[in-house]
Chains A and B, each alone.
Chain A
Amino acid sequence: MKKKTGVVVVPICILLLVSLGLFVFSYKETEKMVDYFEGEEQSSIIALVKNQEEVNSRLEKVSNNQSYTFDNAYLELNPYEISPLSGILIYTSKTKEPVELWINDELKTIFEASAKHVIPLYGLFEDYENKITIKNGTKEKTYSLKTEPSHIKYPLEVSQKIENDDEMIFTVASYETWLTGWDKTGRLRFYLTEDLRMDVEWLSNGHFIIGTTQGQFAENFVGFVEMDYLGKIYHQYTLENGYSFESQVLKNGHILSAGGSSPVYIKEQVIYELDLETGKVVDQINLAEVFKAIDPSFNEKYLGQAAIRNGFYYDEKTNEMIVSFRGIDTVFCVDFRTKEMKWIFTSPSNEVFQNEVWESYKVKSSGENYPWGQHSPQITSNGLIAFFNNGYERYRGFEVGGEDLVSAYSNHYSRAEAYEIKDKQANLVWSYDANKELFSHQYGSIRIDELNHKFINFGYVLNKDYRSSKTGRLSESEKNPDHIHAEIIELDENDRVIFKATCEEGKYRAFKHALYESKTAYIDIGNLTYFNTIPADELKETTIKTLSLENAIPWINSLKFSQNTFETDKVMNETDDISFYFINKAGKVYVLQYKEKENMQINRIFHLDLTGSYAFYININGEIYKTNRIIKF
Chain B
Amino acid sequence: MKKIIVSVIGVFIVGLLFIGTIGLHVENKRVINNETQEFNTFLTNFLQACQKFSLGEKGEVKVIADYKGAHGESLPHEFQYSFLNLNTELLFESEAGYTMLFADQEILYFLTKEYRVPKEAFKIKNEVRKNTYELDVENFNKEMNTEYQKGEISFSIEGKLRKKIKKITVTLDDIIYTWEDDKLTINQKGNETLILKNSNGYSLSYNNDAKINLFANTEVRADIVMKQYSYSFEKVGQEIRVTMNTPASIYNRLELIFIAKEVEIKKEKVADDKANPIYRYFDEIKGE
Interface positions of A (Cβ within 8 A of B): 175, 217-220, 305, 308, 327, 399, 442, 475-476, 478-480, 548, 551-554, 556-558, 569-571, 623-624
Contact = CB atoms under 8 A, between A and B. Distances in A.
B176 to A, nearest CB: 22
A548 B212 contact: no
B85 interface: no
A480 B71 contact: no
Contact of B71 (A305, A570, A571, A623): A305
A480 B246 contact: no
B71 A218 contact: yes
Contact of B212 (A175, A308, A556): A556
A570 B243 CA distance: 10
A478 B251 CA distance: 12
B211 interface: yes
Contact of B249 (A175, A305, A327, A624): A175
B250 interface: yes
B178 interface: no
Nearest to B274: A476
Contact of A219 (B71, B75, B212, B246): B71
A381 B201 CA distance: 67
Contacts of A570: 223, 230, 232, 245
Contact of B250 (A219, A479, A554): A479
A554 B198 contact: yes
A219 B245 contact: no
Interface of B is mostly: strand
Contacts, number: 80
A553 B216 CA distance: 12
Given A442-B70, A553-B200, A558 B230 contact: yes
B67 interface: yes
Interface residues of B, number: 33
Interface string B50-86: 0000000000000000011111110100000000000
A554 B212 CA distance: 9
14 contacts: A217-B72, A220-B72, A327-B71, A475-B67, A553-B198, A554-B211, A556-B203, A556-B212, A569-B225, A569-B246, A570-B223, A571-B253, A623-B199, A623-B200
A476 B272 CA distance: 15
A551 B72 contact: no
Contact of A623 (B215, B230, B243, B246): B215
B119 interface: no
A571 B225 CA distance: 11
B276 interface: no
Contacts of A548: 199
A175 B213 CA distance: 33
Nearest to A548: B199
Given A217-B72, A442-B70, A623-B215, A571 B245 contact: yes
Interface in B172-226: 182, 196-201, 203, 205, 211-213, 215, 223, 225
Contacts of A478: 69-70
A558 B200 contact: no
Contacts of B253: 571
A551 B223 contact: no
A569 B246 CA distance: 6
A479 B200 contact: no
Contact of B211 (A175, A218, A479, A556): A556
- Which of A218, A479, A624 lies at the interface centre, i.e. has the most chain B CB atoms within 10 A of its CB? A479
Given A479-B249, A571-B243, A556 B75 contact: no
A552 B67 contact: no
B157 to A, nearest CB: 22
Contacts of B68: 479
B228 interface: yes
B228 A571 contact: no
Contacts of A442: 70
A624 B225 CA distance: 18
A219 B213 contact: no
Contacts of B213: 553-554, 556
Nearest to B275: A471
B24 to A, nearest CB: 26
A475 B277 CA distance: 13
A152 B247 CA distance: 22
- Which of B68, B75, B182, B243 lies at the interface centre, i.e. has the most chain A CB atoms within 10 A of its CB? B75
B198 A552 contact: yes
Contacts of A327: 71
A569 B249 contact: no
Nearest to A266: B72
Given A217-B72, A479-B250, A556-B213, A571 B198 contact: no
B162 to A, nearest CB: 19
A569 B72 CA distance: 16
Given A569-B230, A570-B223, A554 B203 contact: yes
Interface in B230-252: 230, 232, 243, 245-247, 249-250
Given A478-B70, A556-B211, A557-B223, A551 B199 contact: yes
Contacts of B215: 623
Given A480-B249, A556-B213, 20 more contacts: A175-B249, A218-B73, A219-B71, A478-B70, A479-B67, A479-B250, A548-B199, A551-B182, A551-B197, A553-B198, A553-B201, A553-B203, A554-B203, A554-B205, A554-B211, A556-B203, A557-B223, A558-B230, A570-B230, A624-B199
Contacts of B201: 553
Nearest to B182: A551
B225 A556 contact: yes
A10 B183 CA distance: 46
Nearest to A553: B198
A546 to B, nearest CB: 15
A557 B243 CA distance: 14
A128 B83 CA distance: 55
B136 to A, nearest CB: 34
Contact of A553 (B71, B199, B232, B243): B199
B159 to A, nearest CB: 18
Nearest to A264: B72
A572 B129 CA distance: 52
Given A557-B230, A570-B245, A552 B250 contact: no
Contacts of A219: 71-72
Contacts of B223: 556-557, 570-571
A552 B200 CA distance: 8
A219 B182 CA distance: 45
B214 to A, nearest CB: 10
A22 to B, nearest CB: 25
A558 B73 contact: no
B75 A475 contact: yes
B75 A399 contact: yes
Given A476-B250, A551-B199, A556-B225, A218 B212 contact: no
Given A552-B198, A553-B203, A571-B245, A480 B230 contact: no
The 3 closest A-B pairs by CB, nearest first: A218-B72, A479-B250, A556-B211
Contacts of A479: 67-68, 70, 249-250
A551 B181 CA distance: 11
A31 to B, nearest CB: 14
A563 to B, nearest CB: 23
Contacts of B182: 551
A477 B75 CA distance: 14
Contact of B228 (A218, A305, A551, A558): A558
Interface string B97-118: 0000000000000000000000
Contacts of B72: 217-220, 305
Given A556-B212, A556-B223, A569-B245, A399 B69 contact: yes
Nearest to A441: B70
A623 B218 CA distance: 12
Nearest to B225: A556
A217 B68 CA distance: 11
Nearest to A478: B70
